[in-house]
Each structure stands twice: as C-alpha cells, then as structure tokens.
Structure 1
Amino acid sequence: MAERHGLSIAILLAGLAVTALPSHAQSLSNGEQFAPTRPPVSVRYGSAHSQIMNFWRASGRTPAPLVLIIEDGGWPTRQTVSAYKLAATLADSGIAVAAMGTRPRRPVGVRTIVADVNNILQFLASQAERRGIRTDQFAIIGVGSGGAPAALMATEPGWTDGTALAFENLRALILIDAAGLDPELTLRTARPDRRLKILEALGETEEKRTANSAIGHLATPNVPDALLLLSEERRNRRGGTDFSALLNEHGVITEVREMPRTDTSNNRGIFGNPLNPATRGLIEYLAQRLGK
C-alpha cells in the first residue's frame, strides 16, 4: 500500500450496556447531588438515515484533542446514563468526544463498524475548525463488545486510508471490559445462542476471524500505549489479560487496572462522574497521552 493512514481517535467509554458499568439513573443520597449530565448535539455524518453521532464539544481552549467512544458493538441500542456522564466529564476536562448514535439491534460485522467509523473520521476532519478539534491527537475507547473494533483500529494502520488522520496521531487505546478480542476464545466460551452472531460478526473461518481481530495485526506498527479496565463484576477476564500480554510482547506499553464494584449510593461510586476515582484516573491517563 502507499503510505498507510490510521486512526487515532478517542475512545471513550460509552458502551455500558454490555459491561458491568451502571446503565440506569440512580437515586440521590447522603446529601450529594449527582453531577449534571451535559447533553451532546446530534450530528449527521453521512447520507444514510442512521448515520448520526453524538458529539460533545470540549470546554475551555480549543482546538482540543478528540476521543471516539465505541460501545455495544458499535451502535448501541440505547445511550446509557454513565456513558453520557463520562462523555460530559471528558468534555468538561477539555477533550472533545464523539460516539455513534443508537440504532435498532441487528447483527453487524466488525469491518462494517470500522468502515462507518472511517466515515465519522472523514467528517470530523472536514469540520475540525467548526467543531473545535485537533486532527493530530486522538484516542479510542472501546467498551464491552465495542472493544473488538476499537482494538482492531488501534493495531491495523491501514483502516483509515482516505482520511486526513495519520495512524501515528493515535495516542491511546482504552478498553473497558472488552469482549471479542480473541475470536477463538470468544467462540469456545460463548453460549450456543451467541455463536451464530459471533460467526456473522467475525467470520465463518478462522482465517477470516483472525483478519477481523487485533490479534491478526499485532505484527504491524500500532498504538504505543494501552489501558485495560476490568471491573470486579466481570466474570471472565481471561480475554483482557491475554490481550494485554500480547500487546506487551509487541512493544505496546499496557496497563491493567481493576475497577471497584459500582456503588450507586454516592457520586464517587458512579463511573463517569468526575468525583469517581476510576473516572479521574482515566482522565489523568488521557491527559498525559494527549499532552494536555
């Protein structure tokens, strides 16, 4: 290929529907008010009726670095409260955030998600000045089943061919209770009713499944840093820990952190809230990688 471009877009934690992160509004207690959630603006990034994303403009000085959130297999069926809180918190911290909008549930392959993110990147790059974003500092956050396409994008330089973004501008990869990183392990541990959907998303043959996973591209230049968050409520951590080991073997500095069990009784227990320790740690991690 000629010069290969890649992604480096922010990966935000938005897909909480398939993870242990909270997915519903919480009641107030202990006299603490939950931080207000700043709503995003809906932006159409393509001609298709469903090509609408949520965008949070960064507060403070712009242009700002960008984080792309991939959750729930790409297009979530609904936006979660915690995802909105995290996006708003990042935006308040001076980081712009983009996340795919909701769509009806339907089987979709990893490559389809990646192609759609390519459209998002092209659109955002064309409106960088208007949206107040930089085109040279990005990060990707993959949540739950959104971890598979996020990891693929962070390890295959060619996926952003045709965009104005270069792969070396990708500053960080963050995976939260990611699923589908190892296709064969995913198939072996999947319930029978899930196997058909997994095969449709990742491929009918082992060769196709490898090509649709980050594992198949680890020999190429890839993101220099990665952060994996594993919640206490996550039962099967093998995929995340194995993937971390593979990244380390290929020179990707990988940090694994455990997330405390969600406590909905106060602000500090709700992921996405600025008072939450895990959220603060994530913001600090991004700030270091994005040079803020």
Structure 2
Amino acid sequence: MTRLATTTLSLIGALVLAAAPPAFAQAAKAPPTALSYGSDAAQQLDFWRATGKTPAPLVLFVHGGGWKRGDKDSATGRYKVEHYTGEGYAFASVNYRLVPAATVEQQAQDVADALAALLKRADALGIARGKVVLMGHSAGAHLVALVGTDPRYLQKAGLSYADVRGVIPIDGAAYDIPSQMADAGRMMAKTYQQAFGTDPARQRALSPTAQAAAPNAPAFLLLHVQRDDGVRQAEDLEAALRKAGTPVERQGFPGRGLPGHMQINREMGNPDYAATGVVDRWLARAFS
C-alpha cells in the first residue's frame, strides 16, 4: 500500500470512529458522573469510579476524529469502561473543543484542564493523586503524546509530570507533523493544514517527536497496527523518547488500513484482544 493510500485511510478511520453509532458506546453497569471543566459546551467529561478499593488510579481517555470530529460517547469503544473500572481503575472519557472553532493548542490544553478538574475533586471522586495515565486514539493519541512531551500544557493547568505516571497513544500517525504533512495526499493535506497551518515553527511545536527532549511524562507505551505511516511515526517517537532517557515501549498488532485502525480502539479492553493484556500489564507496572 502506498503512503498516500495509507495516510488517506488514516483520516477515514478517524472520521468513521468519530461517527460511530451508539452500538460502539460503553455498556457500563453504572451511569457516569458528568463534569464540566470549562465554560464551553464541548468542555465536558464522563467519569466512572473504580470497582473496589479507593482511592484508585485514573485512566483518562481522549477520543480521535481528525481534530475536527469525534465525541466521548461514540469513540471510547465498547469495553474500556467496564474493563478498566473492573481492574480497579477510575476511568474518564473527555470531550474537547474541535477545529476550526478551536486550535490544536487549545485542544491539548483542554486535555490538561480536564485532568486538573478531576484531580481537584480527587478526594470526592476516589482518585489517587499522582497515579494517572493518559490514553488516546488517533488524533487523541497525538494530543496525549503532545501533553506528555510538552510540559507547558500541564503547567498552565497547575499540574506537572509528577501528577502523571504515563501516556498510552493508540495508533496515532501525527507525532511528527511536518513529516506527516509531506506524505499527505490532497484529502489529508486539507485536514492537516486546517489543524496545523503552514508555519513550520508551529508545526514543530505541535509535534510530540520534536518536543520529546526531557522533561517528558515518566513512561510511554506506543501502540499501533500495521499502517505504514503509523508504524513509521511510532518508531520515530520511540527513538526520540529513548534519546531523551524516557522509558518507552512500543507494541505492534495485526491490522491494516481502516479496519485495523478501528479495531485497536474498538477492541481495547476486550480480554480476548491481544493489546488488552499488553496494556493491563503495563498499567500494573506504572501504577505499582
């Protein structure tokens, strides 16, 4: 498959996930607690308490959708809430403001602000301070990786990397924005230009790979399927994190193009899906 075809499928996958029908929504046993973390209608999140002992570590999930679409209700996947709360973790799924009404910088700040809002209520919600992992898929993978490599977003929210144990980007393909834009076809070029503009300095500032010099979040787990651009971008981010001395693991899983991109998010948390066990073991170490 050519880079152009693979990149086009990357966007299509993000858009399909963003428009996923309610059947993909979580079938949680208990309804979530809905919280606002800002004045904009999009600055909302859903929170589920851990099953069992509290205070509990927190997994915060950020949806994909090409930075311009997506929703916490349709893009979280079927299994995550029940699985991670059942593992003894609190779980939150975050909405953020979307391009073009907001900038990617504001989206990354929304992720940090959502975490700050949760930690401000940590005692009431049963969250263990200092035990947080950021997880995101597709465009959400880019956003959590950016927050995990550029400390300014957490600092502006009154937090630091001491508040985070790790970051799990899932099948992102935009960790090095200039490189990805250079490979983009016409369909992707418009989306990337809308999100990241034409200024090389801004594109670099929004590239986790370019921001990966220390300090970074304490640890990373990079997950991907077998999409050429996704593999290449994950490998380059891994190399940049290793160069900075940041602990990082990278795991690839079967799946190509749109179906693979969808599957790794949709099946995460399914005990029968291989990536679930990888994440479970990594979380157990990160939260120990």
Q: Same fold (TM over 0.5)?
A: yes
Q: 1:17 to 1:103 in 2, by over 3 A?
A: farther
Map 1:58-69; keep pairs closer than 5 Å: 58-69=50-61
Distance 1:235 1:289, change over 3 A: same
> Which of 131-140 and 214-223 deviates more?
214-223
Query: Counterpart amino acid of 1:66?
Result: L
Task: Give yes or no for contact 1:19–1:144 (8 Å, CA) kept in 2.
Answer: no
Provide Cα deviations, 1:69-103, integer angstroms capped at 9, x if missing partner.
11213862463476241132111111111122387
Q: 1:216 to 1:260 in 2, by over 3 A?
A: closer
* Counterpart Cα distance in 1 of 2:203 and 2:237: 16
User: Residue 138 of structure 1 aligns with which residue?
Assistant: 132
- What residue number does 1:40 align with? 32
**Whole-angstrom CA distance in 2 between matches of 1:98 and 1:164:** 19
Task: Name the counterpart of 1:110.
Answer: 104
In 2, are the aligned partners of 1:155 and 1:217 still within 8 Å (CA)?
yes
Structure 1 position 47, deviation (Å)? 2.4
Partner of 2:142: 148
Task: Give the RMSD, CA atoms, in angstroms.
Answer: 3.1
Residue 288 of structure 1 is matched in structure 2 by: 285
User: What are the within-5 Å matches in structure 2 for residues 69-84 of structure 1?
Assistant: 69-72=61-64, 73=67, 76-77=70-71, 79-80=73-74, 83-84=77-78
- Judged with a 3 Å threshold, the aligned counterparts in structure 2 of structure 1 residues 36 and 116 are, in CA distance, closer, same or farther, namely closer
Q: Which residue of 2 aligns with 1:273?
A: 270
> 1:10 maps to which residue?
none
Deviation of residue 144 (structure 1)? 0.7
Task: Measure the CA separation in 1 of the matches of 2:181 and 2:158.
Answer: 36
**Which is helix-richer, 1 or 2?**
2
Letter matched to residue 53 of structure 1: L
Q: Which gives a bigger RCO, structure 1 or 2 (Cα 8 Å, sep 6+)?
A: 1
Q: Distance in 1 between matches of 2:68 and 2:164?
A: 19
State the identity %.
Answer: 27
TM-score (norm 2): 0.79
TM-score with structure 1 length normalisation?
A: 0.78
Aligned to 1:254: 248
Q: List per-residue Cα deviations over 1:111-137 (Å, max 9, x = no partner).
A: 111221232123212211111112211
Q: What are the Cα deviations for residues 212-239 of structure 1, in whole angstroms up to 9, with x where unaligned?
A: 122332223112321111124x343211
Q: C-alpha displacement at 1:107, in angstroms?
A: 6.2
How far apart, in 2, do the equivalents of 1:271 and 1:24 lie?
A: 17
